[in-house]
Structure 1
Amino acid sequence: MRRFVPLLAAAMLSACATVPTDAPVRMTQPAAEVPLQDQQVLFWNDATRSDRFRRMEDFFAGHEVAAAADVRNLPAGSPYDAATTAALDAYLASSDAAGIMVLQDGRVRYEKYGLGFGPQGRWTSFSVAKSFTSTLLGAAVKDGFIASMDDPVTKYLPKLAGTAYDGVSVEQLATMTSGVKWNEDYTDAASDVARMLLVAPVAGESQAITYARQLTREAPAGRKWVYKTLETNLLGDLVTAATGQSLAAYSKKKIVDPAGFAGPLFWMTDLTGNNIGGCCLSIRLSDYARMGQFALEGGQSAVPVGWFASAGAPQVEFGDGNGYGFQWWTYPGASFGAQGIFGQSITIVPDRRLVIAIVSNWPAATGKPLSASRRALLDQVIAASGR
């Protein structure tokens, strides 16, 4: 999700939202109305991004759930050698990173902060949230709310019957291979991704479903991969419909508590009061790392045995060892990770028992030089982490 919705409308509509929540969830509202033209994240200047990425709940409505009662301890591990530490320090200083944490065997080998951020603060995820939604999908399968990944999405979202999503399976939605035509150009104000949360809300359905009604098919289901944030929003709606719980409420049970999060989780909502599956939860840096550790260890007992082995494997292959799983990016060497615009990431390297969490305020949403610089750092850290 790359554009946000009018705050006043969100405040008015979320007050009458009927999203079920059977775990303690606090409905949050922004402290003050923010002009619509000041809500478009792609146009925020550097100072505005640096300020707001750490307090999105002050600008957008959402749900908040409490930290885990039993917080997972992250003990100190052995520090890296001088060269690796210097490389991490240099990246932190030069890349507009707000924090970097590296875990190996569940122990902290590196943890430092920038931009005035600190261990008690929360930072927004952007599309890192997609991998959380994927994990909740796995939990819904384990809990029996979703019978099969081969089920048609219309079984759980019947309002998609008669749309381009007829005949699309849950797994195809999770791998973004629906064949539905989509434009995710963040520089184009007329693109689908720019308009999907500006669609007028319709009573009884999420904005994602409302927007999906107007889409058309460009390829048979399962034949073509196209990155579509809408499809993660629909996946979140599907999990909510199947479980009868909001994503925030379900995440409290299936991620926050079992992973042992140290701080509360905030998850933004759309104009209908539904959590936005493809974007915008806020947690501590250490909890991004805990999420990575949770996935590294298999996510038991929240998801089926082997879930992350499948979710973090290249269900779609791009070449050179890269691909896409169930809402996780896959990398060479059987590693995988979550990514969000402006430099948010969780990277998981199973054969090194390694988790690298980074939160940032990149000067642009995306860009090859930015990604290449991060990749170079990750490769250096992985190489220094042995086997």
Structure 2
Amino acid sequence: MPATDLIKPLLILLCLSPASALAQTDSPARWLDPANDTRNLPTDGSILFWSGDQQIAGFRNTALLSPVRQVVTGEEVMPLPRAERDFSALRYEVNGESFALADYMQHNHVGGLLVLKDGQIVLEQYGLGNDEDTQWVSFSMTKSVVSLLTGAAIADGYINSVNDPVTDYLPQLRGSAYDGVSIRNVLQMASGTDWNEDYADPASDVATSPSDMLALMQFMGEKARVAEPGERFNYNTGETNLAGAIVRAAIGNNLAAYLTQKIWQPWGMESDATWISHGPYGGELGGCCLSPVLRDWGRLALLVMNDGVLHDGSRLVPEGWIAESTEPSAGSDNYGYLWWLNGDGTFRASGIFGQGIYLSPEENLVIVVQGAWPQATGASFASHRDGFFKAVEASLSAN
């Protein structure tokens, strides 16, 4: 199968819900020389079941497997000062057992780990053969970027407010269950439309939805309404792609260009990135697959921690947007505008196979992880992630 034929399984399975756990196994430390990536790239099968070296090679080379758009850096790079800390004594607990940093890196198959405290790098490590130049696929972390770009489009006047009807921007959905659904409802995954996200069911919506964006809108426009808009949270891969389409329609351009103009260049990212699109001529996936380097995810998190205020004092998003985005919705205490909420003031951008940003505004702390969990999700991996994050936060808070 040609590499470009992998676009269908990529589009279907990249944006798995973090709630959809699969069987889980542990495996020893993994490493793949990037020089060997091309000979290990997957040639067929679903991304969900790539394994071993195929998985590592595929995750850091999505541009060789699918159509992408480029996100381009500017001339100025935002410095990230270093203030390394010694984490050799750090311990975290899972089910009564004690683990160290090295255990976390191996157990959770970590490809990159970055910890920023007060805007400074206190820890930066790589695994799996990755380094500071590795562009690693983010999966559903990208949703949170779309949330930021939605705020930017409101600040720029392209979108009036999150209360605008979806059909004002996507008229193809008029006369469907999306009549009366607002942008806010879509950002909160609470449109009330029917959607089956069961990955074990080959007849589910997520397994049968088309990859072409126009066909996807027709597919979703045929779904029934099962709840009033705003009342019920339902993790919906297709709907996050609609969120990206709303921004594209509003700005009259593609998301990669808007991200370049609004964040990548003015905020000073250090490297280009790629963003998977709906086929060679389609727009970017709203729900997935931006691939930056590790430190640029850290910079993005710092922009969020800075309330969306750029270096020159101008605002990327309206005042109050970050707070509004990270408030619980009527449908879920754990979800805002495409951000996961932890219930304690911290929040996350999260992607399958171990991708994530953990943001603690109170501690001025950011933790970024790139991973290659052997499965999309799993309780043991999540327990080690959460235990490690809390131990890092407690360690830095005490110092």
Assess, with a 3 A threshold, how the Cα gap between structure 1 residues 166 and 44 changes in structure 2: closer, same or farther: same
Equivalent residue for 2:149, pick from 136, 144, 151: 136
Partners of 2:233 and 2:331 within 8 A in 1? no
Q: Distance in 2 between matches of 1:260 and 1:207?
A: 37
TM-score (norm 2): 0.84
Q: What's the counterpart of residue 267 of structure 1? A: 275
- Structure 1 stretches of 5 or more lacking a match? 12-30
1:327 and 2:327 equivalent?
no
Q: CA deviation at 1:262?
A: 0.9
How many residue pairs match? The answer is 354
Equivalent residue for 1:118, pick from 122, 126, 131: 131
Q: CA deviation at 1:89?
A: 2.9
Equivalent residue for 1:361, pick from 372, 382, 391: 372
Equivalent residue for 1:7, pick from 4, 17, 42: 4
Q: What's the counterpart of residue 323 of structure 2? A: 309
1:127-173 deviations in Å (ceiling 9; x for gaps): 00000111100000100000111111001111110111111001001
Q: Distance in 1 between matches of 2:369 and 2:147?
A: 20
Partners of 2:6 and 2:44 within 8 A in 1? no
Q: What's the counterpart of residue 266 of structure 2? A: 258
Q: Distance in 1 between matches of 2:232 and 2:153?
A: 26
Runs of 4+ deviating beyond 6 Å: none
Assess, with a 3 A threshold, how the Cα gap between structure 1 residues 298 and 131 changes in structure 2: closer, same or farther: same
The percent of aligned pairs where both chains have the same amino acid is: 38
1:64 and 2:78 equivalent?
no
Partners of 2:340 and 2:349 within 8 A in 1? yes
1:354-376 deviations in Å (ceiling 9; x for gaps): 11000000010012222121111
Residues 24-35 of structure 1 mapped to structure 2, 5 A cutoff: none
Assess, with a 3 A threshold, how the Cα gap between structure 1 residues 89 and 9 changes in structure 2: closer, same or farther: closer
Assess, with a 3 A threshold, how the Cα gap between structure 1 residues 81 and 342 changes in structure 2: closer, same or farther: closer
Which residue identity does 2:62 align to in structure 1?
M
* Secondary structure in 2 matching 1:324: coil
* Secondary structure in 2 matching 1:276: coil
Partners of 1:206 and 1:274 within 8 A in 2? no
Which residue identity does 1:149 align to in structure 2?
V
1:94-150 deviations in Å (ceiling 9; x for gaps): 211101000011100100000010001110010000001111000001000001111
Q: CA deviation at 1:213?
A: 2.1
1:352 and 2:363 equivalent?
yes
Q: What's the counterpart of residue 44 of structure 1? A: 50
Q: CA deviation at 1:197?
A: 3.5
Assess, with a 3 A threshold, how the Cα gap between structure 1 residues 316 and 84 changes in structure 2: closer, same or farther: farther
Which residue identity does 1:159 align to in structure 2?
Q
Partners of 1:157 and 1:241 within 8 A in 2? yes
* Secondary structure in 1 matching 2:304: helix
Which residue identity does 1:184 align to in structure 2?
E
Assess, with a 3 A threshold, how the Cα gap between structure 1 residues 124 and 303 changes in structure 2: closer, same or farther: same
Q: Distance in 2 between matches of 1:310 and 1:325?
A: 8
* Secondary structure in 2 matching 1:369: helix
Q: CA deviation at 1:188?
A: 2.5
* Secondary structure in 2 matching 1:84: coil
Q: Distance in 1 between matches of 2:345 and 2:274?
A: 31
Equivalent residue for 1:53, pick from 59, 74, 83: 59
* Secondary structure in 2 matching 1:139: helix
Q: Distance in 1 between matches of 2:3 and 2:200?
A: 19
Assess, with a 3 A threshold, how the Cα gap between structure 1 residues 351 and 381 changes in structure 2: closer, same or farther: same
Q: What's the counterpart of residue 218 of structure 2? A: 210
RMSD: 2.3
Residues 185-224 of structure 1 mapped to structure 2, 5 A cutoff: 185-198=198-211, 201=212, 206-224=214-232
Q: CA deviation at 1:8?
A: 4.8
1:26-66 deviations in Å (ceiling 9; x for gaps): xxxxx99x99x715101211221111101110110010122
TM-score (norm 1): 0.86
Q: Distance in 2 between matches of 1:207 and 1:109?
A: 47
Which one is further off, 127-136 or 186-195? Answer: 186-195
Q: Distance in 1 between matches of 2:330 and 2:123?
A: 33
Partners of 2:117 and 2:366 within 8 A in 1? yes
- Structure 2 stretches of 5 or more lacking a match? 9-37, 92-98, 310-314
Partners of 1:324 and 1:330 within 8 A in 2? yes
Which residue identity does 1:278 align to in structure 2?
G
Q: What's the counterpart of residue 232 of structure 1? A: 240
1:224-261 deviations in Å (ceiling 9; x for gaps): 10011111100100000000010111111122123321
Which residue identity does 1:41 align to in structure 2?
I
Equivalent residue for 2:292, pick from 260, 283, 287: 283
Partners of 2:230 and 2:330 within 8 A in 1? no
Q: CA deviation at 1:6?
A: 8.2
Q: CA deviation at 1:9?
A: 9.6
Q: Distance in 2 between matches of 1:174 and 1:96?
A: 30
Q: What's the counterpart of residue 188 of structure 2? A: 175
Q: What's the counterpart of residue 257 of structure 2? A: 249
Q: Distance in 2 between matches of 1:303 and 1:127?
A: 21
Q: CA deviation at 1:82?
A: 3.3
Q: Distance in 1 between matches of 2:137 and 2:267?
A: 19
Q: CA deviation at 1:81?
A: 4.6
Q: Distance in 1 between matches of 2:184 and 2:152?
A: 14
Q: Distance in 2 between matches of 1:182 and 1:281?
A: 24
Q: Distance in 2 between matches of 1:336 and 1:211?
A: 32
Partners of 1:316 and 1:324 within 8 A in 2? no
